[in-house]
Structure 1
Amino acid sequence: MRLFTVHARDGAKPATRLVREGFSFAAFLFGPLWLLWHALWLGLLGYLLLAAAIAALPAPWENPAALALQILLGLHARDIQRWTLARRGFTTEGVVAGRDEEEALLRLVSARPGLARGVMA
């Protein structure tokens, strides 16, 4: 079973988002492209600043530091998503479990039908 945090926003354009818990292999492998794909602009800016600082390191430290940056991004990518959602006015509504996102969404809608009107297909 996978765990997802539920984030919702009310108003004229209600929205509900699920963010998976755990390590993001896609963020680890594709770093800045993953941040771009998810529109995490401040996360991308921070990543680029750190990558520039790492590029200025002396030769024996550059590769281990770059690998550490990628591992940290993989570990904290979902946290960056949650932080960005909070900045955009979403509130954390709870946690839901499921084998995949569709099953978790089905469980969420059956338990909390009020959140269904903002679900993105």
Structure 2
Amino acid sequence: MPVYTVHAPSATAANVRTTDKFTFVRDGFHFWAMVFGPLWLIWNWLWLALIGWIIAIVWLDLILAKLGAGFLAIVSADILIALLMGFEAASLQRWTLSRRNWRQLDVVVADDEEAAERRFFDRWTAKQRGSGNDPLAVDRGSPPPTRDVPGQPFSKPPPLPGSSIIGLFPEPGGPG
């Protein structure tokens, strides 16, 4: 089953009004990114990745040509770069989203994107109802203990040891 990561535009925009902007990125191999690498990058608005891809291909081809590699070696290297592009396309999408200050909300396993959306929004809306519609709220339990509260056992500091030995070792000269 494919795995999808869910991304929201910013840390404060993960609410019910902006759910149409949530993005689902499928993890795994992207065939069209392998076959049409630069066009796939343009289609998905991955401009910095496109510039990096162009620089990498030109640099690799020039280095191989200067080293005296044949045409078949250069084409083989380009095919390997295309395979790498197919395998890392989803990582490039997630990297670009994180550069644009999007945050990852969840990871969803589903058969297709529509099922992933359904599964995510079922879980997300249930969590929204339970947290009082504050997506950044975290239940941390009771407040931490404070010092110097009369009648509370945690307000007394621990007793200081009578000797300079710390740990589970017996006191020198004491009962063993």
**1: CA distance, partners of 2:83 / 2:2:** 21
Q: What's 2:121 paired with?
A: 109
**Offset from partner CA, 1:53-79 (integer Å, 9 cap, x none):** 133122423111101110111111100
Taking every aligned residue pair, what percent have the same amino acid on both sides? 38
Higher RCO (CA < 8 A, seq sep 6+): 1
1:87 aligns with 2:93: no
Q: Which runs of 5+ in 2 are unaligned?
A: 129-176
User: Which residue is equivalent to 2:4?
Assistant: 4
Q: How far apart are 1:89 and its partner, in Å?
A: 1.2
Partner of 1:119: none
Question: What is the SS of the residue equivalent to 1:39?
Answer: coil
Determine which of 83, 88, 94 is the counterpart of 1:71: 83
Residue pairs, 1:24-63, within 5 angstroms: 24-56=30-62, 57-58=64-65, 59-60=69-70, 61-63=73-75
Q: Within 2, Cα distance between the matches of 1:70 and 1:19?
A: 20
| TM-score, scaled to structure 2 | 0.60
Provide the rounded CA distance (Å) in 2 between the counterparts of 1:99 and 1:75.
19
Tell me the distance in 1 between the aligned counterparts of 2:28 and 2:122: 24
Runs of 4+ displaced beyond 6 Å? none
Q: CA RMSD in A?
A: 1.8
TM-score normalized by the length of structure 1? 0.86
- Structure with the bigger percentage of helix: 1
Structure that is richer in strand per residue: 1
Aligned residues: 114
SS of equivalent to 2:108: strand
Partners of 1:28 and 1:36 lie apart in 2 by 13
**Partner SS, residue 55 of structure 1:** helix
